[in-house]
Structure 1
């Protein structure tokens, strides 16, 4: 029963978190966006002390429930391991192995040092939520979008517009390759040995493992009833059950309850570790079992109620920006999303989970290829511009790396300023009149000025007021010059209000 409850909760969490990365409409975040915010590392970087304390208390009470239910990377490994176990003769393929303590704590120490030193590429590489986010955003989302496009095509054939077509494209080749490597490495480890990654590499798993050593409820082996059949050890994907000593390594146990289900002799019980003796009669055994079930049902109720309480209103952009084939200009300073504050703040808080990149309706955000900010989102305007009425990136960011309270904050935040290159302008190059950049500037920061005020036939060129320009990129995106825009946005290391 406990195993089924755990599996049900894990499936719900895994499906909803995955859909957050697949949903290009942004509607699911109204109800399930909180699931990204209760991931351990995002909550820690956002200084969301309430969530961090809740997860630590949850671990202190029930063990590593976070790893087996809430963490999408952990559940992903369970899915792969389950598929592998369906092979003939492979249902009981695990065995106890001693913990690689030196490796676990070495990785944790390096991870903490990287967080303090601001080596964000290393942090994003090891963070479990970010690792799964990369896979979902770069590998699963394109398949989802292609499936949507097939449905849109079929619906259109029968006169229905229930689906609309969306463009599928690789936002960053280096990030895509890294996501593919992550998928293969973690997939192979899970296929062969279950939770190897969780218990040897994952820094969050190691940290929660320290707390889990002192958990109140845990699986306990009854030595008197144990027949040494080893079924529990063969089903333990964490390889943490040592039947030679009749001990369980609780720092590696993820509370999956597989061992309880596998034991045919009732020798393993999930119970309070402070109980000095276990009742042996049927009635008392049933009472202990019911107590454990109530504990899990309480957890399930808490999480369900949390989903209702945490759901918030969310504004969705009314349309997609036009897709224009352009080449990215050479910017001296990358453009950070509005609300990022400054380069230092953004680098310290962003986990490069790719959720904002996936959710951006205008195709403006894409992962950085720079080694110092690798995989963190940056803005570029070849396919769209940052619409003043949209602040979805700030709404979905689980860490507070992108923080906007209102649309007024959005439209008054200067992320950069426009720079005009006369040699590329179609007015100079082709001898035609234009003014597209000035017409579409939402802040009125671009004016068309005659080159020679005394000549009525003089060509008119854009002049940028850098004090009021917010760097939204409308001018760059809508400039008709090809392949490079005649006007582009140069980023600011520190954003300011205009």
Structure 2
């Protein structure tokens, strides 16, 4: 019964969190956004003390149920493990804990967080790893299915659905997502929870706490006949059936052992103090806690591909795709306060990228900020009335702001490029940038001040410009816009 309850809750959490990364309407975020905010690392980065205390208390009471119920990457591994069990039953075996590797990886995560190495932090964060998989691999399939449904409904004169663009926001992030899925899927299919108990820093922290949990699977030596069936079905490889011991730092409270034991020798119950003391003593003799102090590691990731850009311009004739301008300073979303704050808090989960309704946000391909959100205006611009990214961010990297605050946040400023401006290059009248500027920061003036009839060119009032990118996005010049936005290292309020 306990196993069925655990699986039910796990599937509910897994399905709902997956939906957060697939939904483009914003409905799922309104109802289920709290599920992203109770993930361990995002809550830690956001300094959400209430959530952290609740997760610690949950672990001290019931063990690592977070890993088997709440964490989507953990549930995904269980699904692959279940597929592996269908091909070969009773395939696991007990193995000693790789404590050195676990604490080294935890130390690497701590060093990355302190040093502000966002790309390394994002690679190790389990929730973010699953977010990348869902956003890059599942979201396009979901959007494609939606488009088929929208076309089918339109043929029947129903417009309850609408089509959305299906495109790869970053080939680098896409490649990382594929590699993560293949590696973790293979490990889980073959060996169960290998990643959770050797690499995952969240698993290491919660594993340390779960050694002192009040309730855990307990072996009754008077009933156990030493058949080893529990150990051969333990995906965490933490049951030493010969010595009737369970490594609670690796046990994820999946309850599989309870169901497999034919003698009823394992029960999920309150542990005796003597069991806790003996386990702690055994670990202390085998592995000193001073192994927590580790040397820092450097990540050498070669970025071979650049982000794919796509245009959605219409018309009967072919329109050349816009190219990304060479910005000296990248643009980060309003609410991020600036590049430094975003880099220090972002886990690269891609939830803001999914939630952006205008196709503005996409993962960074730069090594030092790999997979963190950056704004680019080839598909759309950052509308002043939209605050979606700040509403869904679970890590506090993009602080929640309202519409009035966003309209006064200057994330960058527009820069005019004379060589690309159509009134000067083609001798035609334009003014698109000034017409569509939502804050009136652009005015059209004669290019020759002594000749009022000369072609009019834009002049940018940097003090009023908020860097929304409407001018860049709607500029008809190709392949580069005649006006583009330079980001600000630190956002300003105007």
Q: Aligned residue for 1:449?
A: 445
Give the alignment of 1:84-483 within 5 angstroms.
84-87=84-87, 90-274=88-272, 323-324=312-313, 325-483=321-479
On the 8 A contact 2:422/2:428 being kept in 1, the answer is: yes
Distance 1:2 1:179 in 2: 33
The yes-or-no answer on 1:20 pairing with 2:8 is: no
1:460: Cα distance to partner? 0.6
Question: 3-state SS of the aligned residue for 1:17?
Answer: helix
* Residue 487 of structure 1 pairs with residue 483 of structure 2: yes
Counterpart of 1:7? 7
1:404 and 1:216 map into 2 onto residues whose CA distance is 37
1:311 corresponds in structure 2 to: none
Q: Distance in 2 between matches of 1:427 and 1:71?
A: 55
In structure 2, C-alpha distance between the alignment counterparts of 1:421 and 1:405, rounded to whole Å:
32
The Cα RMSD (Å) is 1.4
Larger deviation: 142-151 or 246-255? 142-151
TM-score, structure 2 as length reference: 0.90
* SS of 2:122 mapped into structure 1: helix
Task: From the superposition, tell whether residues 112 and 401 of structure 1 become closer, same or farther in structure 2 (CA, over 3 Å).
Answer: same
Cα distance change on mapping 1:213 and 1:276 into 2, 3 Å? closer
Residue by residue, what CA displacement relative to the aligned partner does 1:193-252 show, whole Å, maximum 9, x if unpaired? 111100010000001000000000000001110111221111111010001110000000
Deviation at 1:454, TM superposition (A): 3.9
- Displacement of 1:343: 1.7
User: Would the aligned equivalents of 1:404 and 1:410 in 2 still touch at CA under 8 Å?
Assistant: no
Distance 1:210 1:439, change over 3 A: same
2:30 aligned residue: 30
Q: 2: distance between equivalents of 1:178 and 1:426?
A: 40
Structure 1: runs of 5 or more not aligned? 278-321
Distance 1:215 1:489 in 2: 53
Distance 1:39 1:328 in 2: 34
Aligned to 1:56: 56
1:275 shift after superposition: 7.7
Could you state the TM-score of these two structures normalised by the residue count of structure 1? 0.89
Q: Determine the structure 2 residue equivalent to 1:310.
A: none
Aligned partner of 2:281 in structure 1 is: none
In 2, the alpha carbon distance for the partners of 1:385 and 1:371 equals 25
Tell me how far apart the structure 2 counterparts of residues 366 and 34 of structure 1 sit (CA, whole Å): 23
1:84-141 deviation digits (Å, cap 9, x = unpaired): 2122xx1221111111111111111111111111111111001000100110111111
SS in 1 for 2:92: coil
Are the counterparts in 2 of residues 445 and 466 from structure 1 also a CA contact under 8 Å? yes
Asked whether the equivalents of residues 40 and 52 of structure 2 are also in contact (C-alpha less than 8 Å), the reply is: yes
CA shift in 2, pair 1:275/1:350, >3 Å: closer
Q: C-alpha displacement at 1:4, in angstroms?
A: 0.6
Per-residue CA distance 1:314-334 (angstroms, 9 max, x = gap)? xxxxxxxx9344110000000
**Given that residues 442 and 461 in structure 2 are in contact (C-alpha distance below 8 angstroms), is that contact kept between their aligned partners in structure 1?**
yes
The runs of at least 4 aligned residues of structure 1 exceeding 6 Å deviation read: none
Q: Matches of 2:274 and 2:239 in 1, distance apart?
A: 21
Cα distance in 2 between the residues matched to 1:337 and 1:255: 39
Q: Which moved more, 1:375-384 or 1:451-460?
A: 451-460
The superposition leaves residues 19-77 of structure 1 with CA deviations (integer Å, 9 ceiling, x where unpaired) of 00000111111110000000000000000011001101100000001000000000000
Return 5+ residue gaps in structure 2 as ranges: 276-310, 314-320
Output the CA distance in 2 between the equivalents of 1:446 and 1:158: 44
CA distance in 1, matches of 2:52, 2:274: 31
Quick one: distance in 2 between partners of 1:146 and 1:95?
A: 42
Deviation at 1:276, TM superposition (A): 8.3
Superposed CA deviations along residues 370-423 of structure 1, whole A, max 9, x for unmatched, are 111111000000000000110000000001111133111111000000000011
Q: Tell me, in whole angstroms, the C-alpha distance in 2 between the residues paired with 1:470 and 1:331.
A: 16
What CA distance in whole angstroms lies between the structure 2 residues aligned with 1:276 and 1:130?
A: 38
Determine the C-alpha separation between the residues in 2 that align with 1:70 and 1:247. 26
Distance in 2 (alpha carbons) for counterparts of 1:79 and 1:251? 22
**Displacement after TM superposition at 1:154 (Å):** 2.0
8 A contact 1:328–1:380 mirrored in 2? yes
Indicate if the aligned counterparts of 2:422 and 2:477 stay in contact, CA closer than 8 A: yes
Determine if contact 1:172/1:366 at 8 Å carries over to the other structure: yes
